[in-house]
Chains A and B, each alone.
Chain A
């Protein structure tokens, strides 16, 4: 049973436009959410996170929004750059438990 779902396997956007990556979850006990970015042949790298007590966290071009009532979070990248092309994993955790990852979404930013 997937507790963290990334239902779209891929997304393609034009350079300079906004990329919106979505993630849904089923466990209402999750208290922290993270986004990881992964290039081919590399390990995932931490991108941005948000606590369940917040609804928005911003870091440069990256903003994560959390809608607890809908059990939904999204990662906005604006403006998108070709170097952003990668696989993005949404992850969540409860207290001190392990991270639960989504399946990932492949973002392609066209020049």
Chain B
């Protein structure tokens, strides 16, 4: 069982909807990440939070809005998405930001998003 939990596992939304993806970890990790993965492509980094502060934004469009309410939770708020935003959204955590040390990331199972 993964120690990074993501909800919902599947989400279908229209282009005018507002929805949120949620991620939770209880490993005491201080860094949390959002990745986007399209079919047959590697995971692409979107955001990094370190000690609950946004440390990296990989030039992600503003229709994606991350939020880190506390050290265990990470949200991704979605608004006015496009069909091309349909993808698997992966949350990950690591002991420290940027993978100091080993760089090992612990991934959740992902949220499969479909934008109609």
A101, B103: Cβ atoms under 8 Å? no
Q: Which chain A residue has the least Cβ–Cβ distance from B48?
A: A98
Q: Which chain B residue has the least Cβ–Cβ distance from A87?
A: B40
Which one of B42, B56, B104, B105 has the greatest number of beta carbons of chain A within 10 Å? B42
Smallest CB separation, A24 vs chain B (Å): 14
A98, B4: Cβ atoms under 8 Å? no
Contact with A along B88-116 (1 / 0, CB 8 A): 00111000011110111111111010000
Please report the C-alpha to C-alpha distance between residue A89 and residue B35 in the assembled complex, in whole angstroms.
Answer: 14
Please report the C-alpha to C-alpha distance between residue A104 and residue B37 in the assembled complex, in whole angstroms.
Answer: 12
Whether A97 sits at the interface, judged by CB under 8 Å, is: yes
B48 to chain A: which residues have CB within 8 Å? Answer: 98
Using A96-B100, A99-B99 as known contacts, say yes or no to A46 and B106 having CB atoms under 8 A apart: yes
The segment out of A14-22, A37-45, A58-66, A70-78 that lies at the interface is A37-45
Please report the C-alpha to C-alpha distance between residue A89 and residue B2 in the assembled complex, in whole angstroms.
Answer: 18
A32, B43: Cβ atoms under 8 Å? no
B98, A96: Cβ atoms under 8 Å? yes
Please report the C-alpha to C-alpha distance between residue A32 and residue B97 in the assembled complex, in whole angstroms.
Answer: 15
B105, A46: Cβ atoms under 8 Å? yes
B92, A93: Cβ atoms under 8 Å? no
A104 to chain B: which residues have CB within 8 Å? Answer: 40, 42
Please report the C-alpha to C-alpha distance between residue A45 and residue B108 in the assembled complex, in whole angstroms.
Answer: 9
A32, B110: Cβ atoms under 8 Å? no
Please report the C-alpha to C-alpha distance between residue A46 and residue B110 in the assembled complex, in whole angstroms.
Answer: 15
A43, B92: Cβ atoms under 8 Å? yes
B106 to chain A: which residues have CB within 8 Å? Answer: 46
Chain A residues at the B interface, C-beta cutoff of 8 Å: 9, 32, 34, 36, 41-46, 49, 89, 91, 93, 95-99, 101-104
